[in-house]
Amino acid sequence: MATKRKRRKSGAGTAVYVVILVLWTLFVAAVAMYILSQVWKYASVYDETQVEPVMEEYITKLRENVWDDSIAATVASMPHQMQTDEEVGALVKEMLLNDEINYVAKPGFQKSDSVTYSLLCGENVFGEVRVVQNTTENLVEDVNLPTLFIGALAKMGVSIQPELYSWKIAEESFDFSGLYSSVRVTVPSTYKVSLNGVDLGEEYIVERDIHFDNLESYYYRYDNLPTKVTYQFDNIMGHIDPEIRDESGNVVQIDENKDDSQFMKKADDATLERIAAHINGFADAYLHLSASTGDPNSAYAELANYIEAGSEMDNKLRQIFLIGDWSHNSYYQFKGSEVLGAYEIAGKCYVVDYTAAATVNQPAGTVDLQRHFRSIVDASGDHMITATIDDV
């Protein structure tokens, strides 16, 4: 009976299998390494295809050198009648250095191959930069990825672009009109206003015939009362304080917390003394008449020494105090008056602020009168006249 012999694996077949496996592994590894190298090559140029780094580099250089020929030419072409090129240039440099410089895409100027940005200094636009793609060189032209691999990435939402370009600054322009400010000041019409030593002419007056606030109630009664005008000058780079001079050429500082009496000429000491004496007699007669003590005709005769017969004030006071019932109080005592200020308005006429006090016995008891008045006093003649009286 014949014996069956076992078959053994050939050593040569095993070796062939191992060699094929190694070669396949090396092939797969080589393909993988090639694909990874192409992916890395693609990724390495991706940042160069973004526009933001280009703008960041531009802004950095602009901060480092805020003055070049382009900016200098722009400043020279800007209207700045009251400032020299050097002054404006220094102000532009200061603003660009001290304020935050930034950029923002200009709405409606974003395309696939170009973007226009507005340059900002703080919140003010001072120029534009247009950035375009550099289409002369495809940065991924040498990148070769298998179509199957690109398709697989696309399914995962990763898009591989066959063309990628860098960005470059195509053009820049500057316009510092957004950094302009205006000077606007209201002064008496007889005053002068200057900027940097240059007087502003009438062409810069934007409003006329503005009433003095402390004389508002007198304009309908009197002609030639002082008025104010408003000057406005645009195209000022930075901030310039205007110089204000009065009729005598003296520099004036306006106090915003005071009324317009600050612009008026105060009565001299001698005139003020005369006015105080006149006001004291007038206030006594006026309060006596208004207190309704004694004979009204006698009281009015006393007041008539201080006003002009037949004047508007005379007629008005007669209608108030000499028509109708007369209420008799039993006692009146004048305590005095105090002139708070007297300012000349025209032709020796003064607007006078003053207080007056008196005591009156009424049927209900004793009453202390404390009044604050404003009057126009005509001191042009030897005999002063009170032309108006208003409660303040």
CATH of the domain at 292: 3.10.450.540
Based on the fold, state whether residues 238 and 288 are members of the same structural domain. no
Bridge partners of 243, per DSSP, are: 194
Distance CA 115, CA 129 (A): 8
- Residue 40: inside a domain: no
Q: How far apart are CA 207 and CA 230, in angstroms?
A: 5
What is the rounded distance in angstroms from the CA atom of residue 280 to the CA atom of residue 172?
A: 75
Please check whether residues 228 and 288 belong to one and the same domain.
Answer: no
Give me the pLDDT at residue 381, please: 82
Does one domain contain both 50 and 166?
A: yes
The top-scoring range by mean pLDDT among 62-76, 114-128, 201-215 is: 201-215
As a whole number of angstroms, the distance between CA 355 and CA 272 comes to 15
Q: Cα(230)–Cα(242) distance, rounded to whole angstroms? A: 12
CA distance 237 to 181: 6
Shared domain check, 385 and 274: yes
Which tokens go with 221? 């009664």
Cα gap 352→273, rounded to integer Å: 12
**Average pLDDT along the chain:** 82
Q: Residue 160: name the closest of 67, 35, 285 by CA.
A: 35
102 DSSP β-pair partners: 120
Give the domain range for residue 219: 179-263
Q: Of 241, 263, 285, which residue sits at a domain end? A: 263
Quick check: is 352 in a domain? yes
Reported residue count of the chain is 392
H/E segment holding residue 15: helix 11-44
The average pLDDT across 357-366 equals 86
- What is the chain's alpha carbon radius of gyration, rounded to the nearest angstrom? 46
The answer to whether 337 and 281 are in contact (CB under 8 A) is no
Dump pLDDT digits (tens) for 244-297: 999 999 999 999 999 998 999 899 999 999 999 999 999 999 998 888 777 788
Interval 92-122: pLDDT, tens:
777 777 778 889 999 888 887 899 999 988 8
Of the residues 263, 287, 317, which one is the last residue of a structural domain? Answer: 263
Same domain as 148, residue 77: yes
**Which of 47-51, 72-76, 131-135, 306-310 ranks highest by mean pLDDT?**
306-310
Q: What b-and-e string marks burial along 225-240, b requiring 16 or more CB atoms within 10 Å of the CB?
A: bbebbebebebbbeeb
Query: 376, 357 in Cβ contact below 8 A?
Result: no
